[in-house]
């Protein structure tokens, strides 16, 4: 096999069939997603529309097909999801939610659309001030931070989760507005979620969970405080997520899954220990989850594909330096190139 | 499809049986698929080399047809090909049936009976129209800020079709509170929704809001608070009967323990019951750690899960150690109790060496290398011993254990074990010694 152990570079065109990435099929699959309006699934997932666009677009960028979705239409759709309070809803007319707002910001970032946000975004009036463009979005996000605990709520409903904290810092940093929130307090909260086994849970005392670990590490990376992590202990727990089939699971004794493979592998990357797992086995597992004809990735081999696992499958392969893919950033799950454009060329140079 | 009524050619495989009842729609679709490609099925069962000349020709044509290879031929050849297909009465192959996915309750649609599937398709179309309509209706009501009983009906209706709409839950809880509706009645309803929607987390947040209000209403009535705790725990048991690792239920439970002061009210016993059912249930282990080491009766306030706490009584530490030891004996390769054991030792400020004998029960390594085979019943025990030996300064023994792990007992993580060996050489310590050599710089932008 042409793959080297560890986070190696995947081999070239001499790869056997089952280790080939069906790039064309994946591009087609993602392009087809928005044309399925006659399917029930489309309507049942309306509350995920903007997230879905982020997943699809990220996958396309990593596949080196950034223009496979029309840029202007993408920007128009995102802006049409903006609510009066500056945040973004999942679809036009929906209430703003933190998770759709971060997707909106990430999409605009990827298609270089912040300028259009400045020009055409909602103007928000709060407390005598009038905010527009990035700042209107930033104010909405900052308003979701609990100034006593440092956490973020997803919406006015008040649900708190470390994922929300990460989403908040993610979007604010892309907007260049981190100073609107109390980053130190947020860091303290994450530190309080560290568990005896080295992992992190959704709240202090909650079971370690790969998805939550990703959110905590990414938030700490954005805050520049990855130094608070016990990297060896966490690295051991994370590397134990790899099962014999090569995939990674989210918790001990759970099934391996493509999305967890991304969360664990990106977490290991953030603490510099991706080489502790078998990269060749992992990429072979991810490739087995693709539908080489119809395109898309499923959670496990043989299951139904969806855009969520498609994004994380491709991102996982990119993390493992799979040939032909654009380099992904472990913290933002966006192309590194895009982040260098938004955050400056110095971004990520210490990797 | 093959023309009807014409006499089947001699070489034709046995015609399909008269219309058959299939147990599931997936079986029916598969059967139709196979019937549409009789020569491929025949070749697969007999082996291509055993086909008659006629069958072989038909098989080849069927394959050209199925793969679409004929499309790349010149027009004249294509015409010729279609004539042959007609004369050979080769049916047009159906596309391979796709996985039908799962319905909103998570049940595999492929397992429906064909009759159920028909109903499902019809219902799906109906819901599609209905959902759009009712959501539009709800949006109008929300815009008018109406909080009335019909909002409860409408949201109940929408949630029955799609429980993942956070806006719907939000508006429902606001309306409930505005109307001063009965919270116990709402909880009852929410129970059923939660049981039907195992993966939904909005429900659990909704529940938290409801219980928060109930606690306020009840005030300091100890008896009523106890009742509430009991009924909540009873409901969680129902949820755990479905999935004892449901993350949303467990995090809700931790919230509830803090809220209702349930630290000493059966939590440990419940964890034990679940671990008796499945000793590998990591969620139950995590909850036990939380309940034992965050209990405000004896834990030092603000002590983190990862650090020593001088407030923990010795008998509690001993009890936890004995409990995890028993679990390790039950399933030596189960990582949860081994992790737990390390966590307990850390909390109690005890050394790993204190359990060297115990871990040694799972590992027999001959004194000198080459003197017979080692016997390792648990890679976690070997890992534990490596750290215990490093703690004692027995570097060579520790190194041998780590080498065995990387070469034999946990090969998939060889790089990790190699790193541990390097660490051992560099400072002689176990895990948690020097900061890793692979430190990733903090992501800098303004920090
Ligand atoms: Zn998944």
Distance CA A22, CA A258 (A): 16
- pLDDT band per the 50, 70, 90 thresholds, residue B29: confident
Inter-chain Cβ pairs, chain A and chain B, closer than 8 A: 190
Q: Using an 8 Å Cβ cutoff, are A222 and A174 in contact? A: no
Q: What is the dihedral of CA B271, B272, B277, B283, to 10 degrees?
A: 30
For A276, the closest of B131, B251, B416 (CB atoms) is B416
Asked if residues A81 and A89 have their Cβ atoms less than 8 Å apart, the reply is yes
Give yes or no for a contact between A351 and B441, defined as CB atoms under 8 angstroms apart: yes
Lowest pLDDT segment from B3-7, B265-269, B385-389: B3-7
Q: What is the mean pLDDT of residues A228-255?
A: 95
Task: Report CB contact under 8 Å: A239, B416.
Answer: yes
Work out the percent of chain A whose per-residue pLDDT is above 90.
Answer: 79
Give me A222's structure tokens.
Answer: 């954005």
- Report the mean per-residue pLDDT for chain B: 85
Name which of A347, A313, A330, A326 is nearest A214 in CA terms. A330
Question: What residues of A are in contact with residue B416 (Cβ under 8 Å)?
Answer: 235-236, 239, 273, 276-277
pLDDT tens digit sequence for B37-87: 889 888 888 888 888 888 888 898 888 888 878 778 888 888 888 888 888
Q: From the list A93, A203, A271, which residue is nearest B139 (CB)? A: A93
Distance of CA B390 to the CA centre of its chain: 36
DSSP secondary-structure letter at B104? T
- The verdict on a CB contact (< 8 Å) between B283 and A251 is yes
Q: Report chain B residues whose CB lies below 8 A from the CB of A277.
A: 412-413, 415-416
Distance in Å, CA A20 to ligand 1 centroid: 21
| A163 contacts on B by Cβ (under 8 Å) | none
Task: Determine how many CB atoms are found less than 10 A away from the CB of residue B292.
Answer: 24
> Ligand 1: distance of its center to the CA of A258 in Å?
6
Which helix (H) or strand (E) segment holds residue A131: the answer is: strand A129-131
Of residues B235 and A5, more confidence is placed in B235
Q: Is A304 on the interface with B (CB under 8 A)?
A: yes
Residue A319, judged by CB atoms within 10 A of its CB (0-12, 13-18, 19+), counts as buried
Which of A97, A209, A236 minimises the CB distance to B247?
Answer: A209
> Which residues, in sequence order, are CB contacts of A17 under 8 Å at separation 6+?
none
Secondary structure (3-state) at A290: strand
Residues of chain A with Cβ-Cβ distance to B128 below 8 Å are: 40, 43
Residue A186 near residue A151, CB atoms below 8 Å: yes
The answer, for A237 touching chain B at a CB cutoff of 8 Å, is yes
Residues in B touching A271 (Cβ below 8 Å): 436, 440
* Contact between chains at B294 and A205 (C-beta distance less than 8 A): yes
DSSP state of B108: B
Q: Is B342 on the interface with A (CB under 8 A)?
A: yes
Residue B45 CA, ligand 1 centroid: distance in Å:
37
Computed on alpha carbons and rounded to an integer, the radius of gyration of chain A in Å comes to: 19
- The alpha carbon of residue B225 is apart from the nearest alpha carbon of chain A, in Å, by 23
Q: How confident is the model at residue B8 (pLDDT cuts 50, 70, 90)?
A: very low
Measured CA to CA, the distance from residue A24 to residue B25 in angstroms comes to 31
The distance of A296 to chain B (nearest Cα, Å) reads 14
Residues of B in contact with A81 (CB under 8 A): none
Q: What is the pLDDT of residue B53?
A: 86
Which band of pLDDT confidence, cut at 50, 70 and 90, is reported for residue B435?
Answer: very low
Express each pLDDT in B103-127 by its tens digit. 766 678 888 888 777 777 766 666 6
Distance from residue A279's CA to the centre of ligand 1 (Å)? 19
Greater confidence (B30 vs A282) lies with A282
In the predicted model, is pLDDT for residue A248 greater than 50?
yes
Residue contact B415–A5, C-beta within 8 A? yes
Strand-pairing partners, residue A88, are A82
Q: Which among A326, A300, A302, A332 has a CA at the least distance from the CA of A314?
A: A326
Higher-pLDDT residue of A22, B7: A22
Q: Which of A210, A162, A187, A173 is nearest to A334 (CA)?
A: A173
Rounded to the nearest angstrom, the minimum Cα separation between A225 and chain B is 7
- The pLDDT assigned to B137 comes to 82
Asked whether the beta carbons of A33 and A305 are under 8 A apart, the reply is no
Label residue A112 by pLDDT band (50, 70, 90).
very high
A 10 A CB-CB count for B205 gives 24
Task: Please give the structure tokens belonging to residue B302.
Answer: 């603000």
Local structure of residue A129 (DSSP, 8 states): E
Coil, strand or helix: which one is A317? helix
* Stretch B17-33: mean pLDDT: 79
CA distances from A127 to A124, A130, A168, A176 (A): 10, 8, 21, 22
Determine the residue of chain A that is closest to B172 in CA distance. A157
pLDDT in tens, B347-403: 999 999 999 999 999 999 988 777 788 899 999 999 999 999 999 999 999 999 999
DSSP string, A246-264: S-BBSSTTS-B-HHHHHHH
Asked whether the beta carbons of A39 and A327 are under 8 A apart, the reply is: no
Distance from CA of A6 to the nearest CA of B (A): 8
- Looking at residue A157, what is its pLDDT? 61
Alpha carbon of B198: minimum distance to chain A alpha carbons (Å): 16
Q: Nearest Cβ partner of B247 from A195, A207, A346?
A: A207
CB of B7 within 8 Å of any CB in chain A? no
**DSSP 8-state code for residue A8:** -
Chain B CB contacts of A206 under 8 Å are 247, 250-251, 254, 286, 290
Contact present, B40 and B59 (Cβ < 8 Å)? yes
Q: What is the number of other CB atoms lying within 10 angstroms of the CB of residue B105?
A: 8
Q: Chain B contact for A184, CB < 8 A? A: no
Point out the residue among B167, B343, B443 whose CB comes nearest to the CB of A221.
Answer: B443
Of chain A, the percentage scoring pLDDT greater than 70 comes to 89
> Which among B124, B303, B443, B445 is the top mutation candidate for probing chain A, defined by the most A β-carbons within 10 Å of its own β-carbon?
B443
CB contact under 8 A, B336 and A253: yes
- Spatial separation of the C-alpha atoms in residues A250 and A297, rounded to whole Å: 18
Look at residue B444 and tell me whether its pLDDT is greater than 50: no
Q: Which of A198, A208, A224 sits opposite B447 (nearest CB)?
A: A224
Among B166, B415, B443, select the one facing A275 at the smallest CB separation. B415
Is the pLDDT assigned to residue B441 strictly greater than 50? no
Contact of A195 with chain B, judged by CB distance below 8 Å, is answered with yes
Q: What is the mean pLDDT of residues A53-81?
A: 95
Is B226 strand, coil or helix?
helix
Q: What's the whole-model pTM score?
A: 0.79
Q: What is the DSSP letter of B338?
A: H
List of chain A residues whose C-beta atoms are within 8 Å of the C-beta of residue B243? none
Report the gap between the CA of B101 and the closest CA in chain A (Å): 6
Mean pLDDT over residues A313-327, rounded? 96
Distance A348 CA to ligand 1 centre (A): 27
Spatial CA neighbour of A100 closest among A119, A81, A114: A81
For residue A351, the model assigns a pLDDT of 46
pLDDT attached to residue B6 = 40
How much is the average pLDDT of A222-228?
Answer: 96
Question: Bigger pLDDT: B100 or B444?
Answer: B100
Residue of A4 and A227 predicted with greater confidence: A227
Question: Inter-chain contact B440–A226, Cβ cutoff 8 Å?
Answer: yes
Would residue A199 be called left, alpha or beta, if left means φ above 0 and alpha means ψ between -120 and 50 degrees? beta
Q: What is the pLDDT of residues A124-173, one digit of tens each?
A: 998 888 999 999 999 999 999 999 999 998 766 666 788 999 999 999 99
From chain A, the residues in CB contact with B125 under 8 A are 40
Q: Taking 90 as the threshold, does the pLDDT of residue A316 lie above it? A: yes
Could you give the 3-state DSSP secondary structure of residue B110? helix
Query: What residue ranges define each of the domains in chain A, with the CATH number in brackets?
Result: 18-346 (1.50.10.20)
Q: Would you state the pLDDT for residue B1?
A: 38
pLDDT on residue B104: 63
Contact across the interface for A347 and B166, Cβ inside 8 Å? no
Dist. CA B23 → ligand 1 center (Å): 30
What's the pLDDT score for residue A247? Answer: 95
CA separation for the pair A300, A291 (Å, rounded) = 11
Kindly provide the ipTM of the predicted complex, given to two decimals: 0.87
- Whether residues A206 and B250 touch (CB distance < 8 A) is answered with yes
- Per DSSP, helices labelled H in B36-111 are 38-46, 53-67, 75-88
Cβ under 8 Å to A: B residues 203-242 = 205, 209
Other beta carbons within 10 angstroms of residue B175's beta carbon come to 21
The proportion of chain B whose per-residue pLDDT surpasses 90, expressed as a percent, equals: 51
Whether chain B has a CB inside 8 Å of the CB on A347: the answer is yes
Mean pLDDT (chain A, rounded): 89
Q: Which of A50-54, B45-49, B337-341 has the lowest mean pLDDT?
A: B45-49
- B331 pLDDT more than 60: yes
Structure tokens at A207: 């079971």
Q: Which of B127, B250, B446 sits opposite A207 (nearest CB)?
A: B250
Identify the DSSP state of A95: P
Shortest distance between the Cα of A77 and any Cα of chain B, in A, equals 20
Beta-carbon contacts of residue B422 (< 8 Å; ≥ 6 apart): none
pLDDT tier, B145 (very low <50, low <70, confident <90, very high otherwise): confident
Domains of chain B as residue ranges with CATH = 25-87 (no CATH), 304-447 (1.25.40.120)
Contact in structure between B338 and B380 (CB atoms under 8 Å): yes
């Amino acid at each position: 096999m042409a793959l080297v152990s560890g986070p190696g570079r995947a081999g070239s065109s001499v790869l056997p069939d089952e280790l080939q990435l069906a790039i064309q099929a994946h591009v087609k699959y993602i392009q087809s997603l928005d044309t399925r309006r006659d399917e029930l699934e489309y309507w049942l997932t309306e509350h995920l529309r903007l997230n879905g666009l982020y997943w699809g677009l990220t996958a396309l960028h990593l596949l080196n097909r950034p223009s496979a979705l029309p840029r202007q239409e993408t920007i128009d759709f995102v802006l049409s999801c903006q609510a009066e309070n500056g945040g973004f809803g999942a679809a036009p007319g929906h209430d703003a939610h933190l998770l759709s707002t971060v997707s909106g910001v990430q999409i605009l970032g990827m298609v270089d659309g912040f300028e259009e946000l400045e020009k055409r975004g909602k103007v928000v009036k709060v407390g005598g001030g009038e905010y527009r463009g990035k700042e209107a979005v930033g104010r909405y996000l900052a308003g979701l931070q609990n100034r006593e605990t440092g956490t973020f709520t997803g919406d006015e409903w008040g649900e708190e989760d470390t994922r929300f904290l990460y989403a908040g810092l993610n979007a604010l940093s892309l907007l260049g507005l981190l100073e609107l929130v109390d980053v130190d307090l947020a860091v303290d909260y994450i530190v309080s979620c560290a568990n005896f086994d080295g992992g992190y849970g959704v709240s202090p005392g909650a079971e370690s969970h790969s998805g939550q670990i990703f959110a905590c590490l990414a938030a700490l990376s954005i805050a520049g405080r990855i130094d608070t992590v016990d990297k060896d202990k966490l690295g051991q727990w994370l590397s134990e997520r790899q099962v014999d089939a090569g995939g990674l699971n989210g918790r001990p004794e759970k099934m391996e899954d493509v999305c967890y493979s991304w969360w664990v592998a990106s977490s290991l990357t953030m603490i510099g220990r991706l080489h502790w797992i078998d990269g060749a086995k992992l990429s072979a597992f991810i490739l087995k989850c693709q539908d080489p004809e119809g395109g898309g990735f499923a959670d496990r081999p043989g299951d139904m594909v969806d855009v969520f696992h498609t994004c994380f499958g491709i991102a996982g392969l990119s993390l493992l330096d799979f040939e032909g893919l654009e380099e992904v950033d472990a913290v933002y799950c966006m192309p590194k190139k895009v982040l260098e454009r938004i955050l400056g060329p110095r971004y990520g140079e210490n990797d | 499809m093959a023309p009807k009524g014409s006499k089947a050619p001699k070489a034709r495989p046995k015609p399909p049986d008269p219309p058959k009842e299939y147990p599931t729609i997936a079986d029916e679709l598969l059967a139709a698929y196979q019937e549409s490609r009789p020569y491929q099925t025949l070749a697969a069962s007999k082996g291509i080399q055993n086909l008659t000349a006629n069958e072989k020709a038909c098989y080849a044509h069927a394959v050209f047809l199925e793969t679409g290879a004929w499309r790349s031929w010149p027009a004249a050849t294509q015409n010729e090909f279609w004539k042959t297909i007609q004369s050979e009465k080769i049916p047009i192959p159906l596309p391979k049936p796709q996985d039908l996915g799962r319905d909103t309750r998570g049940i595999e649609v492929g397992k429906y009976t064909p009759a159920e599937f028909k109903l499902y398709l019809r219902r799906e179309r109906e819901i599609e129209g209905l959902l759009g309509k009712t959501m539009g209706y709800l949006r109008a009501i929300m815009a008018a800020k109406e909080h009335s009983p019909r909002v409860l009906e409408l949201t109940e209706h929408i949630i029955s079709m799609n429980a993942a709409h956070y806006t719907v839950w939000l508006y429902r809880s606001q309306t409930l509170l505005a109307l001063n509706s009965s919270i116990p009645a709402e909880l009852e309803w929410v129970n059923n929704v939660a049981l039907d929607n195992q993966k939904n987390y909005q429900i659990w947040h909704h529940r938290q809001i409801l219980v928060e209000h109930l606690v306020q209403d009840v005030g300091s009535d100890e008896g009523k608070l106890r009742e509430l705790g009991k009924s909540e725990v009873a409901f969680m048991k129902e949820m755990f009967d479905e999935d004892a690792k449901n993350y949303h239920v467990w995090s809700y439970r931790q919230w509830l323990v803090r809220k209702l002061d349930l630290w000493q009210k059966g939590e440990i016993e419940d964890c034990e019951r679940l671990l008796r059912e499945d000793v590998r249930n990591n969620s139950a282990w995590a909850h036990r750690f939380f309940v034992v080491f965050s209990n405000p009766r004896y834990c030092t306030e603000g002590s983190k899960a990862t650090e020593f706490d001088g407030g923990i009584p010795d008998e509690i530490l001993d009890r936890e150690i004995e409990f995890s030891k028993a679990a390790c004996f039950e399933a030596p390769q189960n990582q949860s109790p081994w992790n737990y054991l390390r966590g307990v030792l850390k909390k109690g400020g005890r050394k790993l060496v204190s359990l060297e004998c115990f871990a040694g029960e799972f590992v027999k390594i001959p004194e000198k290398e080459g003197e017979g085979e080692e016997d390792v019943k648990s890679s976690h025990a070997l890992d534990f011993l490596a750290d215990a030996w490093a703690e004692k300064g027995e570097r060579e023994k520790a190194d041998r254990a780590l080498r065995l792990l990387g070469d034999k007992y946990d090969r998939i993580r060889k790089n990790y074990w190699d790193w541990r060996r390097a660490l051992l050489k560099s400072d002689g310590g176990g895990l948690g010694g020097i900061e890793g050599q692979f430190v990733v710089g903090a992501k800098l932008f303004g920090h």
